[in-house]
Structure 1
Amino acid sequence: METTKILSASFLDILFDGRNKAYGAYELRNTYNRRLVKALGATGLVIATFMGASALRGATSKKAPVPIITTVVDLTEIKETKKVEPPAPAPPKLQEPRKIEIKQFVVPKIVLDKDVVTPPPSQEDLTDVKIGLKDVEGVKMGDIAVPPEGVPDGRGVIETKPVEKDDLPFTKVEKEAEYPGDWTRFLTTNLRGEVPVDNGAAPGNYRVLVQFVVDINGAVSDIRVLKDPGFGMGAEAIRVIRKSGKWKPAVQNGNMVKAFRSQPITFQVMEQ
């Protein structure tokens, strides 16, 4: 490009001086501003069209008013009504106890027949009657139970002797007797494991079953070996259980009772 034309030429002409302007890049750069203005104008026109349509639609269609629903609470005073309770039933009438015939006790006095004013009652008249201080009309005693002496008007508490129950221990109870501490630890601590070894027992497991009685005071008694493999193990089990002291008694129907208690004990002899 000539020096005289550089001052008046555009930047684009200077950049593409001596190059192929027909290739396309020159045309694109030269028309860039015009194309940008057209694109922005078209975009603005589309946006304006949509906004105008929305405004027109909102002006032509009016929304129906939304009703406001309220809740009305009636605060009418409620009168309290008293609950009428039915009358209590009348207590049953107490039946008047039947009176037993009583014959007055006559102090015997020996007099002549002519001096007898009131003869004493005969033996037949005194059958099934009660002897008292005065004559009272009533029914014969027969099979009627007469309250003992000392109970006024035939009413009161009559003490009776308790029926003696069989003192045999229970075999089945709701809750068995319990040792007050760690029973397993007590057995393992106090049993002498060398007893079967000292008595010549061969290696193996030996089971001893012991039965004893725990009374209502927790005392242990009547210790018996139900299954004894020998070698002194049964006697050792008895010795340890006798040493156990006081127990918690068994419970049946909410009461402490005397009951049996069974305890299996296994001795294990190891090979030496």
Structure 2
Amino acid sequence: MKVFAALVLVAGLANAAKAAPPAPAAAATTRVEVKGPRVRAKDIFPGAVADVDLGPTPPIGSTRVIEKADIEKAFAEAKAQAPKKIPSAVRVSRKTRKLSALEVDGAVKSALSTQKLPRGAELVKVRASAVEVADDYHHVNVDLPPVPRRAGPTTVQATVTFLSESADTPIFRTVVPLDVSLPPEAAFADIPRGAPITIVVKKGLVEVSVPGVAALDADVGGIVPVTLKPSGRIVRCRAVDKDHAALLEDS
């Protein structure tokens, strides 16, 4: 009797399993690589009549999911006809490409060719490495830190910003070491302590020049405390060149 009951139970479970409807398959997410800082409707729907803006592309190495409701909302706000077939979700990523160390080297040297290196430094070597950047990369900007007050070889850490042709918004930043050689005069301050310097004060269309003396050693582009003549008051300025400084607002 117990055996018969067990067989009936097993048969019932088997029939229940056959009768249960299959679980619905998870909706597939469409994946799209986008070239540029913004996701456009035509990136997802090539045949779309209206190229509606669907928001920013994610940073390199990450993704962003755009839900169907968000797409419909964007088309509605743009007063444009939405595509008939919209996926439940779209996962977008920034299209990238790999730059070799040689390509980064060339880009950095090209940028530096249009700017004067501080303290008379001469570029010796760019210690570039391969990097992955956005596919719409066009050129770089190179920002140099203050160069040490010394002569001879030294290494500085330059900030290299990769930019696209269509926008000035940075798409990638990295640090690239630069080997430079500094001339003997680089060991001395551009503006020695006690040197005469003229403070330039601008208020609207009015410009006033005030004589002063550098209270400390300073370099062009840096902050220099200046003693005013004849009051003796010390104010903070930014050195414009070896002979002139601009008064800072917080002085």
Q: Confirm or deny a common fold (TM above 0.5).
A: no
TM-score by length of 2: 0.22
**Structure that is richer in helix per residue:** 1
Q: Which has the higher contact order (CA 8 A, sep 6+)?
A: 1
Larger Rg: 1
Normalized per residue, the structure richer in strand is 2
Using structure 1 for the length normalisation, give the TM-score: 0.21
